[in-house]
C-alpha cells in the first residue's frame, strides 16, 4: 500500500512538472513573438533590420525661456554645476547670470567682473575670464572670488575717432584720427600697410580708377593727400598754403577720367586737378541758377562717363562731361515725387545706371536714371543722417542703403524692401558695403571692424581695432578650457594660436604659427596641421585630448594630451560634415562630438576620430529646429543644452532666448519601436526628422507607410516624391511597396 502511494506521488509530481514546463515554454514563445503578434494585429510590414539603420539625433525634452537676455555671438558655452544650475554670460550688462534647471534666475555676479566673457564649471568651482583685465578667476557658485588662476596683460585700447573706407576690391582703409595712423587691410583683415598721417576725423576717402592710389580729403584742414597703396608713399598734396589753389573746408570731391573734381559749397565752384600728379587744370562755376552756376553744391558723384553735382539750395543736379562741359539738369524744387527739397546726398549705381538722391527735409530717397527720368522713391526709416549714410550695389545688383546714425541696413532688392535693424548697442559708424554684399562697419562699443553677411549674420573674421603698444606679441585671452590636471588652454584668436599653461601659470606649449613675416604685430595664420586661421572655440575630452574649432580653415583639429596633432576633420562646404561659419561643441563621455552650427542652424555629430555620424534639425522655430544656435553645454546627467534666438528675424531683438534641453538618442530605433506598436503618429515624427538629412529606403518606406496609415496627405506626397527619386530600392522594399498598393 505504501509502495502504491509512493508511485502515485511520483506520477503526480511528473505531471505537474510537465504541465508547468509546458506553460513556461508557451509563455516564453508568447514573449518572444509579442512584437510579431502585434505586427500581425496591426498588419504592418517590417523590413530586414541591420546595424546601419541606426541614426543618432536628439529628443528635445524641454524648451526653457530665458527672458531679458540678448543673444551675443560670444555666448559659446553653457556650464552646469552639480545642482543642475546653469550660467550664462550677459555681455551687454557685463555680468554672469545663474539660473536653476527650470530657467528661473537665481542670482547674478552684480558686476563683480568688468567684462566677463567666458565661464566654466569644474570641481565645484567657477572659472571666469574677464577679457578687459585679461584675468581668469576661480570663484565659488555665488561668484565670490577665491583667487586669480591666470593673469595676462590688460588690453590697452586705442580710444579714438575711426574712419573706415572700403574700395571696390574690398580693400579696407582704417584711419585713427587721434594719432593719424592709416592702416590698410585686405578683405581677410591681413594688414599690408601702415601710414603715418596728420589727417583729422573729418576725412573722406575715395579710390581712383587707378587702383594703386587712395585719395584722402581732410575737410577740416582743406587739403587732399594722394597715397600710393603699394609702398605707402605720399604722391602729392592739394590745397595747402603755397599751392596754386587753396581749398575751403567742407569740400567734396570725386575722381573721374584721371581728373579730380573738387566741389566747394561756400565758393559755388568746381576745381579740376590731374589725379596722377595733383596739377591744377581748371575751374568753373559762380553763384547762380544758370548752367554751370551753383547754389550751395554739397555732393558729387562720378562714373566712367559723367559727373553729377548736387545743389542743396539749388534743388537740382547738374550733369557734366569729362572736360567739365554742361550736359543737362536733373529735377527742380518741389515736394512731389521726382522733385527735390534741400537734397543732401547723391549716390550712383553704375551697374544699374541709377542715381539715388536723399532729401534732407523729407527724409526720402529718390531714384533717377542718368537721363534724369524719375524712377521711384523710397521712404527712409531714420531720423538722423550724416556722411556715413550711403548707397552701394553689390555684384548681384542688390541695392543697399546704409546709415550709421540710424544703426540700420536697408536692402532694396528689386521691388522688395527688407528693413534690417541691428541692435542699438552696435553703435556703428562708417558703414559701407563691399562687392560681395557684406555690410562693413565699425563697432564702436567693441572696437572692432565688423562684417555682417547679406542676411545680417555676423562673420567670425572681425578685426579688433584695439591693439598693444608693446613690440612683443602678447597672448590675448579670448577663450579658454581646462583639462583634468588643471592645465589651462587659452585661445588667442587674432594671433591664430592656442597657448597651454600649467596650474602655476607658466607657459608649457604653444600651438600655431610662431612667425610674423609681415611685421604687423600679429602672428601669421596657417593652414597646415597644427596651424590655425582665426580659431574660435576649444574644448577637451575625458582623456585630455584637445579639440580646436579652426573656423578660418573650416575644420576641427584634435591634439593629444602631449600636444601632438592627431586628426583634422571638416572642410569648407554645405554638405554634412563640413563647415561654413562659426561653431561650438561639447564632447560626451563616449567621445561623441556634438557641434552647434551657427551658420546653418543645425547640430552635427562626429565620433572621436572625426568621422561624421549624423545631422539634426534645421532653421526654424519649431520643436526640432534652431535659430542661430551657438552656446552649448551638458549637465551631469548627459543632457545636452543649446542656446538659440527666439525670433527668426535676425534683426528683431526680443531680449528673450530659448535654451533647448535635449537627450541624445537613436532616432531610427525609437521611431521603429513606435511603428511596431502601431503608434504611427508618433513614429512619423522620427522618420520625417531623419529624412531631412538621410534618404535611406527604410526611413522613406516607414515614413510613407505611417503617413498613409494616419491619412497625412502632406507627408504622403513628401515621402512619395523621395521614394520616386530613390534609385537603389531593394527587391524586398519594392515587393512590400507593391503589396501595399504603392
pLDDT at 626 over 50: yes
Proportion of the chain in helix, strand, coil states, percent, rounded to 5: 15, 40, 45
Q: Kindly state the average pLDDT of the residues 113-137.
A: 91
Across 70-74, 170-174, 693-697, the highest mean pLDDT is recorded for 693-697
> What is the distance between the alpha carbons of residues 486 and 127, in angstroms, rounded to a whole number?
11
pLDDT at 160 over 90: no
- 206-246, pLDDT tens digit by residue? 887 666 899 999 999 999 999 998 888 999 999 987 788 89
For residues 532 and 548, is the Cβ–Cβ distance under 8 A?
Answer: yes
Residue 154 confidence (pLDDT) = 72
| Helix or strand (DSSP H, E) at 658 | strand 657-666
Q: Please state whether beta strands 172-176 and 125-130 pair in parallel, antiparallel, or not at all (unpaired).
A: unpaired
* Sign of the alpha-carbon torsion through 38, 40, 45, 47: positive
Given a contact cutoff of 8 angstroms between Cβ atoms, the answer to whether 300 and 312 are in contact is: no
Q: Please give the pLDDT value at position 608.
A: 92
> What pLDDT was estimated at residue 508?
93
User: Cell 570663484, residue?
Assistant: 139
| pLDDT score of 101 | 93
Q: Who's near 278: CB < 8 A, 6+ residues apart?
A: 224, 226, 235, 236, 237, 238, 260
Range 433-469 burial, b when 16+ CB lie within 10 A, else e: bbbebbbbbbbbebbebbbbebebbbbbbbbbbebbe
pLDDT for the residue numbered 430: 58
Q: How many CB atoms lie within 10 A of CB 681?
A: 13
Domain 205-423: homologous superfamily in CATH: TolB, C-terminal domain (2.120.10.30)
- What percent of the chain is modeled with pLDDT above 70? 78
Other CB atoms within 10 Å distance of the CB of residue 141: 17
Where does residue 705 fall: left (phi above 0), alpha (psi -120 to 50 degrees), or beta otherwise?
alpha
Task: Give the separation between CA 308 and CA 340, rounded to whole angstroms.
Answer: 15
pLDDT at 136 over 90: yes
- Of the listed ranges 214-218, 364-368, 510-514, 688-692, the least confidently predicted one is 364-368
Tell me the C-alpha distance between 503 and 355, whole Å.
Answer: 63
Distance of CA 463 to the CA centre of its chain: 14
DSSP 596-655: EETTTTEEEEE-TTS-EEEEE--BSSSTT-BSS---EEE-TT--EEEEEES-SSTT---S
Q: Dihedral of the CA atoms 108, 112, 117, 118 (nearest 10)?
A: -70
CB distance 658 to 66 below 8 Å:
yes
**Distance between CA 600 and CA 612 in Å, rounded?**
16
- Confidence (pLDDT) at 378: 65
Residue 257 has pLDDT above 70, yes or no: yes
Q: What is the number of other CB atoms lying within 10 angstroms of the CB of residue 287?
A: 12
- Residue 516 near residue 523, CB atoms below 8 Å: yes
Tell me, what's the pLDDT at 438?
A: 66
Residue 108 CA to residue 21 CA, distance in Å, equals: 67
What interhelical angle do 34-42 and 2-32 show, nearest 10?
50
pLDDT at position 293, please?
A: 96
SS3 of residue 411 by DSSP: strand
pLDDT at 449 over 90: no
Q: What is the DSSP letter of 579?
A: B
- The region of weakest confidence among 118-132, 424-438, 594-608 is 424-438
Do the beta carbons of residue 588 and residue 571 sit within 8 Å? no
CATH class of the domain whose range is 58-86+480-666: mainly beta
The per-residue pLDDT for range 401-442, each reduced to its tens digit, is 544 333 344 444 433 333 333 444 444 555 666 655 566 777
At 30 the pLDDT is 38
Strands 657-666 and 56-66: antiparallel
Determine the Cα–Cα distance for residues 129 and 132; give it in Å rounded to an integer.
9
Model-level pTM?
A: 0.62
The pLDDT, as a whole number, for residue 523 is 87
String of DSSP letters for 364-410:
EEEEEETT--EEEEEE---S---TT-EEEE-TT--EEEEETTTTEEE
Instruction: Dig out the grid coordinates for 595 from the structure.
Output: 557641434
Go through the chain and tell me how many residues it has. Answer: 742
Reported as a single tens digit per residue, the pLDDT across 348-364 is: 777 667 888 887 765 67
The predicted structure's pLDDT at residue 361: 61
> How many angstroms separate the CA atoms of 294 and 315, rounded?
10
Confirm if 426 and 407 have CB atoms less than 8 A apart: yes
For residue 90, pLDDT beyond 90:
no
CA distance 276 to 741: 79
Distance of CA 172 to the CA centre of its chain: 20
pLDDT exceeds cutoff 80 at 473: no
Phi and psi, residue 426, nearest 5°:
-65, -35
pLDDT of residue 102: 92
8 Å CB contact between 481 and 540: yes
Percent of the chain with pLDDT over 90: 52
- CA R_g for the chain: 34
Q: Give how far the C-alpha of residue 359 lies from the chain's centroid of Cα atoms, to the nearest Å.
A: 34
Q: Pick from 406, 361, 410: which is nearest to 385 by CA?
A: 406
Q: Which helix (H) or strand (E) holds 300?
A: strand 297-302
The DSSP output letter for 458 is B
SS (H, E, C) 523-572: CCCCCCCCCCCCCCEEEECCCCCEEEEEHHHCEEEEECCCCCEEEEECCE
As to burial, measured by CB atoms within 10 angstroms (0-12 exposed, 13-18 middle, 19+ buried), residue 702 is buried
In this model, does residue 555 exceed pLDDT 50? yes
Residue 180 pLDDT class (50, 70, 90 cuts) = confident
The tens digit of pLDDT for each residue in 15-43 reads 444 444 444 434 433 333 334 434 444 58
Under the banding of pLDDT at 50, 70 and 90, the label for residue 654 is low
Element (H, E) at 118: strand 116-122
pLDDT score, position 32: 38
Question: Using CB atoms within 10 A of its CB, is residue 684 exposed (0-12), middle (13-18) or buried (19+)?
Answer: buried
- Whole-angstrom Cα distance, residue 68 to residue 654? 8
Quick one: average pLDDT of 488-493? 95
Instruction: State the chain's mean pLDDT as an integer.
Output: 82
Amino acid at each position: 500500500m505504501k509502495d502504491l502511494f509512493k508511485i502515485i506521488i511520483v506520477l503526480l509530481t511528473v505531471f505537474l512538472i510537465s504541465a508547468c514546463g509546458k506553460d513556461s515554454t508557451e509563455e516564453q514563445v508568447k514573449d518572444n513573438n509579442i512584437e510579431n503578434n502585434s505586427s500581425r494585429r496591426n498588419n504592418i510590414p517590417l523590413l530586414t533590420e541591420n546595424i546601419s539603420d541606426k541614426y543618432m539625433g536628439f529628443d528635445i525634452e524641454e524648451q526653457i525661456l530665458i527672458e531679458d537676455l540678448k543673444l551675443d555671438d560670444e555666448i559659446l558655452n553653457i556650464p552646469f554645476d552639480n545642482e543642475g544650475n546653469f550660467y550664462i554670460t550677459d555681455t551687454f550688462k557685463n555680468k554672469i547670470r545663474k539660473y536653476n534647471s527650470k530657467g528661473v534666475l537665481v542670482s547674478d555676479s552684480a558686476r563683480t567682473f568688468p567684462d566677463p566673457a567666458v565661464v566654466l564649471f569644474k570641481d565645484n568651482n567657477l572659472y571666469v575670464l574677464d577679457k578687459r583685465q585679461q584675468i581668469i578667476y576661480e570663484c565659488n557658485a555665488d561668484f565670490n572670488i577665491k583667487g586669480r588662476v591666470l593673469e595676462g596683460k590688460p588690453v590697452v585700447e586705442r580710444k579714438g575717432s575711426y574712419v573706415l573706407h572700403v574700395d571696390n576690391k574690398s580693400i579696407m582703409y582704417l584711419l585713427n584720427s587721434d594719432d593719424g595712423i592709416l592702416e590698410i587691410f585686405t578683405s581677410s583683415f591681413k594688414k599690408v600697410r601702415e601710414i603715418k598721417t596728420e589727417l583729422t576725423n573729418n576725412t573722406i576717402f575715395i579710390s581712383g580708377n587707378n587702383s594703386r592710389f587712395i585719395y584722402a580729403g581732410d575737410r577740416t584742414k582743406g587739403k587732399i593727400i594722394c597715397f600710393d597703396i603699394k609702398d605707402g608713399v605720399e604722391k602729392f598734396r592739394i590745397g595747402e598754403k603755397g599751392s596754386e589753389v587753396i581749398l575751403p573746408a567742407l569740400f567734396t570731391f570725386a575722381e573721374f577720367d584721371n581728373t579730380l573734381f573738387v566741389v566747394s559749397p561756400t565758393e559755388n565752384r568746381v576745381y579740376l586737378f590731374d589725379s596722377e600728379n595733383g596739377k591744377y587744370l581748371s575751374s568753373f562755376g559762380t553763384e547762380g541758377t544758370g548752367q554751370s552756376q551753383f547754389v550751395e553744391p554739397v555732393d558729387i558723384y562720378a562714373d566712367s562717363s559723367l559727373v553729377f553735382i548736387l545743389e542743396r539750395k539749388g534743388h537740382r543736379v547738374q550733369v557734366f562731361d569729362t572736360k567739365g562741359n554742361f550736359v543737362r539738369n536733373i529735377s527742380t524744387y518741389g515736394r512731389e515725387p521726382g522733385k527735390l527739397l534741400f537734397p543732401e546726398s547723391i549716390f550712383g549705381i553704375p551697374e544699374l545706371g541709377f542715381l539715388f538722391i536723399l532729401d534732407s527735409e523729407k527724409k526720402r530717397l529718390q531714384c533717377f536714371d542718368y537721363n534724369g527720368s524719375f524712377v521711384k522713391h523710397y521712404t527712409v526709416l531714420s531720423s538722423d543722417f550724416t556722411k556715413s549714410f550711403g548707397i552701394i550695389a553689390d555684384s548681384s545688383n542688390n541695392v543697399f542703403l546704409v546709415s550709421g546714425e540710424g544703426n540700420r541696413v536697408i536692402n532694396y532688392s528689386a521691388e522688395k524692401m527688407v528693413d534690417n535693424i541691428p541692435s542699438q548697442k552696435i553703435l556703428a559708424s562708417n558703414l559701407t558695403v563691399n562687392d560681395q554684399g557684406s555690410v562693413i562697419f565699425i563697432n564702436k562699443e567693441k572696437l572692432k571692424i565688423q562684417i555682417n553677411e547679406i542676411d545680417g549674420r555676423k562673420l567670425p573674421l572681425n578685426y579688433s581695432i584695439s591693439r598693444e603698444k608693446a613690440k612683443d606679441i602678447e597672448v590675448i585671452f579670448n577663450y579658454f578650457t581646462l583639462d583634468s590636471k588643471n592645465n589651462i588652454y587659452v585661445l588667442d584668436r587674432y594671433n591664430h594660436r592656442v597657448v597651454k599653461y600649467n596650474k602655476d601659470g607658466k607657459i608649457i606649449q604653444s600651438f600655431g604659427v610662431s612667425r610674423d613675416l609681415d611685421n604687423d604685430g600679429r602672428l601669421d595664420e596657417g593652414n597646415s596641421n597644427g596651424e590655425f586661421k582665426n580659431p574660435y572655440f576649444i574644448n577637451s575630452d575625458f582623456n585630455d585630448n584637445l579639440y580646436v574649432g579652426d573656423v578660418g580653415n573650416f575644420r576641427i583639429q584634435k591634439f593629444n594630451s602631449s600636444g601632438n596633432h592627431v586628426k583634422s576633420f571638416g572642410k569648407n562646404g554645405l554638405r554634412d560634415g563640413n563647415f561654413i561659419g562659426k561653431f561650438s561643441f561639447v564632447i560626451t563621455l563616449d567621445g561623441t562630438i556634438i557641434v552647434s552650427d551657427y551658420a546653418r542652424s543645425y547640430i552635427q555629430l562626429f565620433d572621436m576620430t572625426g568621422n561624421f555620424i549624423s545631422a539634426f534639425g534645421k532653421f526654424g522655430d519649431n520643436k526640432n529646429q534652431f535659430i542661430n544656435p551657438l552656446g552649448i553645454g551638458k549637465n551631469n546627467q548627459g543632457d545636452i543644452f543649446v542656446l538659440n534666438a527666439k525670433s527668426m528675424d535676425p534683426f528683431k531683438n526680443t531680449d528673450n532666448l530659448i535654451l533647448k534641453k535635449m537627450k541624445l538618442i537613436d532616432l531610427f530605433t525609437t521611431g521603429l519601436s513606435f511603428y511596431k506598436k502601431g503608434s504611427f503618429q508618433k513614429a512619423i515624427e522620427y522618420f520625417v526628422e531623419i529624412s531631412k538629412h538621410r534618404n535611406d529606403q527604410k526611413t522613406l518606406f516607414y515614413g510613407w507607410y505611417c503617413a498613409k496609415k494616419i491619412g497625412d496627405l502632406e507627408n504622403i506626397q513628401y515621402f512619395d516624391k523621395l521614394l520616386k527619386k530613390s534609385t537603389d530600392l531593394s527587391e524586398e522594399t519594392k515587393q512590400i511597396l507593391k503589396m501595399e498598393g504603392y
